[in-house]
Structure 1
Amino acid sequence: MKLPSEFIEKMERLLEDEASRFFSTYHEEKANGLRFNPLKIDRETFLTLVPFALSPVPFCPTGFYYDAHEQPGKHPYHAAGLYYIQEPSAMFVAEVLKPNPGEFVLDLCAAPGGKTTQLAAMMKNQGLIIANEIHPKRVKALSENIERFGITNALVTNETPEKLAKYFPGFFDKILVDAPCSGEGMFRKDEEAVQFWSQAHVEQCAIKQRHILDCAYEMLKEGGILVYSTCTFSPEENEQTIEAFLQTYDDLELLSIEKVHGIQPGRREWTNTNFEEMERTARLWPHSLKGEGHFVAKIKKTGPSPSWNGRYAKPNASKQMVREYRQFEQEVLQTEIEKPMYAFQHHLFALPDHCPNFDGLKVVRAGLHLGEAKKQRFEPNHALALSLKPQDVRYSLDLSSDSVECLKYLRGETIQTGEDRGWLLVTVDGYPLGWGKEVKGMVKNFYPKGLRIN
């Protein structure tokens, strides 16, 4: 790999004696990781079930390393949302924020959703997580990953940080700013990041990051916690960005992050004022642990915030639409969904508890997408299937992960069963994969077209 000469000079100057160890990592294989989904499976069952050789990521209880030759992204368990493929050092960030069930949480720069899915799993689908992504293309991937994980308490938005700051002053208990950055920690896994790198780009990123942090500050409650992270090494985007943020507001306290398993402190000598407290931040270096690299800072807002005086979202679904859904629920499910029912045209959603009014915001997903009202009938959405457990439905069709039938289902083909039970939940080794409709001995396939494999 050919690294930019300006980057090499800069890192040699910054790292001094450590530089050769740092640069030697570019001749090694990148670290591959996945995180199991505690909303669907526990650790022990997961380890017994999956056919990959895994070793634990020491700084993330749900994380594991896998070997480069494995292909977990192509396994049906991935389609069932049993795990998320994620670069290992990125897993540490959500562990630092650690939201509790019932809290109001914002992931401000959330795509593709690795950290959102991790935070939401910690919240056990209780409370509210707003996952925002400014780029329309990237927000689609974010929304799909939230769906696959069986997350029901997320509001996915496609907005600017400024617009959200106007809507949600002093609203959130916890905020994650996983900031857009120069991506120096991506070089081993993304050649494009190498081509894109320049010192000017680093400086542009730093300006953007400071602006995003200003917006996040407005939205944090008194006593609230903000975690800032990047996947880059440059001090301008890390220590110096946090230094500037702390200098701007006098009611912020930099909290200490535990340094174990090879995690290093931030560098005070890389700040502009030799700011001693910067050692409370954390750096994950590829030459100190198995991962591509991250910077993490944890900050508490100690001063008062404006109190949020917005309104909560009200159910707006027509009686007929709700009636059609309830009829489907009675015929197909063995569980009741008791949440505010919200309609976007013909599509019905079950909103998270205490969901704020989102009129005027670009909302991509509002809680759990239950399905669509069609002529005199209700057609369930894929998201509903992935949020259920097999015992939540009257009928299911279980396929073995290594069977031809499972492959056929993921390709969108029909499956012969010889029965006639109507809607059923198709599962893989007992874990929901999607819907099928059994009519006259054949299961019609409702696996979404965009997810089907060739």
Structure 2
Amino acid sequence: MEKPSNLLLKLSRRLFTNIDEREKFIQALINPQLFTSSIVWCQEKPEISPFAVENPINWQPQFIDRLQLGEKPGQHSLHEKGYFYCLDFSSVFAASTLLTIPQPVGLIFDMCAAPGGKSIFACKALQPNLLISNEVIGKRLGMLISNLKRCDISPNAVVNRDSSIFAEMIPASSNLVIVDAPCTGQSLLAKGEKAPGCFHPTVINKSANRQKRIIANSAKLVAPQGYLAYMTCTYSPEENEQVCDWLLERFPHFQPMEINHLAKYQSHLTTMPCYRMFPQDRLGAGAFTVLFKNTNENGNEEINLDTIGSLYIYQNIKKIN
């Protein structure tokens, strides 16, 4: 049996005081197991599902199916036709905070969008007037555009710029900004994938500093009474609760929202309403999620599409009136 590294042991002690939970967490990472996959239905769900599905969890939206082990939705003909998008159930957990946002929603801005799962989930859940999906890493753009195009996500535009550009160009413009932050990806280990250096303090701190810069720029985009969703697929408090604490110190007008359907997943590392899924729960490899609201009342700026129109790499905005 593989032995856990000293860095993993140190993290487990920080995350869990209960020795049994600590051991379950460690075993989930060094002896990875298969997790069920899930799909987002982008077109009308067939009356008879082409897949064997698990019973839905009480907070699971109707446009999501959690499939039984062994199902391979990516190989089905409906996948290529854009009927659904394959999404890890940990991502469904993280994005489920968006289900509490009241409609209608004008503009959704997905800051770190590739490969597109959170953009597609947000579009299905909230039916925005416009979804802008940004991806700063050029080599990931092809996958993002391909997925949005295949699933016919509209109205949508794809852009490729650093978060600071949008903070300057379109401040206080977005009803929802999603930050599915780049992170150390520690949960990849629970799926049997590699995440080199993911427990090393230098790697974690570098990742946390990048996350702080992105979330600060993203906060500037949020319109008064709008929302900022922050999520990761990693376990380190430096990349999760501590990033949230940092944000609230600098943007005190943001308020973390209680998500009632995730109450049992409340992070035990803080009293702030934020939520964690761990791999030993056997629903997914792991995620952290929190939803902030901009409590400011005034200053909402209607976005001028021409302002960023020159930045569009791909657009499918046929539904805009």
TM-score, scaled to structure 2 = 0.88
1:358 and 2:311 are equivalent in the alignment = no
Query: Post-superposition shift, 1:88?
Result: 0.5
CA distance in 2, matches of 1:145, 1:97: 21
* Contact map agreement 2:130 2:154 (CA 8 A) in 1: no
Secondary structure of 1:131's match?
strand
CA distance in 1, matches of 2:250, 2:166: 20
Find the counterpart in structure 2 of residue 72 from structure 1. 73
Query: Post-superposition shift, 1:123?
Result: 3.4
Structure in which a larger fraction of residues adopt strand: 1
Paired AA for residue 123 in structure 2:
A
* Contact map agreement 2:54 2:68 (CA 8 A) in 1: no
CA distance in 1, matches of 2:303, 2:17: 52
- Quick one: structure 1 residues 261 and 87, their matched pair in 2 at CA, closer, same or farther if it must change by over 3 Å? farther
* Contact map agreement 1:110 1:116 (CA 8 A) in 2: yes
Paired AA for residue 358 in structure 1:
I
1:60 and 2:60 are equivalent in the alignment = yes
1:119 and 2:122 are equivalent in the alignment = yes
Find the counterpart in structure 1 of residue 201 from structure 2. 199
CA distance in 1, matches of 2:265, 2:255: 21
Find the counterpart in structure 2 of residue 153 from structure 1. 155
CA distance in 2, matches of 1:304, 1:123: 22
1:367 and 2:316 are equivalent in the alignment = yes
- Quick one: structure 1 residues 267 and 203, their matched pair in 2 at CA, closer, same or farther if it must change by over 3 Å? same
Query: Post-superposition shift, 1:64?
Result: 3.1
Paired AA for residue 140 in structure 2:
R
Of structures 1 and 2, the one scoring higher in RCO (CA 8 A, sep 6+) is 2
Identity %, equivalent residues: 25
Where do 5+ consecutive residues of structure 2 fail to align?
A: none
Which is higher, the Rg of structure 1 or of structure 2?
A: 1
* Contact map agreement 1:167 1:310 (CA 8 A) in 2: no
Write out per-residue CA displacement over residues 52-94 of structure 1, whole angstroms, 9 at most, x where no aligned residue. Answer: 3211451322333334433211111111122211110111233
CA distance in 1, matches of 2:176, 2:254: 14
Paired AA for residue 311 in structure 1:
N
CA distance in 2, matches of 1:2, 1:175: 40
Identify the range of structure 1 (173-182 vs 64-73) with the bigger mean alpha-carbon deviation. 64-73
Find the counterpart in structure 2 of residue 297 from structure 1. 290
Secondary structure of 1:283's match?
strand
RMSD: 2.4
Paired AA for residue 60 in structure 2:
C
Query: Post-superposition shift, 1:2?
Result: 6.4
Query: Post-superposition shift, 1:253?
Result: 1.2
Write out per-residue CA displacement over residues 66-125 of structure 1, whole angstroms, 9 at most, x where no aligned residue. Answer: 34433211111111122211110111233212353542111111111111111111234x
CA distance in 2, matches of 1:90, 1:294: 7
Write out per-residue CA displacement over residues 308-333 of structure 1, whole angstroms, 9 at most, x where no aligned residue. Answer: 376344xxxxxxxxxxxxxxxxxxxx
Secondary structure of 1:177's match?
strand
* Contact map agreement 2:33 2:192 (CA 8 A) in 1: no
Counterpart selection for 1:284 from 239, 263, 277:
277
1:34 and 2:41 are equivalent in the alignment = no
Find the counterpart in structure 2 of residue 10 from structure 1. 11
Secondary structure of 1:110's match?
coil
* Contact map agreement 2:188 2:194 (CA 8 A) in 1: no
Secondary structure of 1:228's match?
strand
TM-score, scaled to structure 1 = 0.64
Secondary structure of 2:94's match?
helix
Find the counterpart in structure 1 of residue 93 from structure 2. 92
Find the counterpart in structure 2 of residue 235 from structure 1. 237
Paired AA for residue 300 in structure 1:
K
CA distance in 2, matches of 1:143, 1:180: 19
CA distance in 1, matches of 2:88, 2:116: 12
Write out per-residue CA displacement over residues 366-415 of structure 1, whole angstroms, 9 at most, x where no aligned residue. Answer: 1258xxxxxxxxxxxxxxxxx9xxxxxxxxxxxxxxxxxxxxxxxxxxxx
CA distance in 1, matches of 2:232, 2:298: 26
CA distance in 1, matches of 2:268, 2:212: 18
Paired AA for residue 253 in structure 1:
Q
Identify the range of structure 1 (149-158 vs 13-22) with the bigger mean alpha-carbon deviation. 13-22
Identify the range of structure 1 (184-193 vs 105-114) with the bigger mean alpha-carbon deviation. 184-193
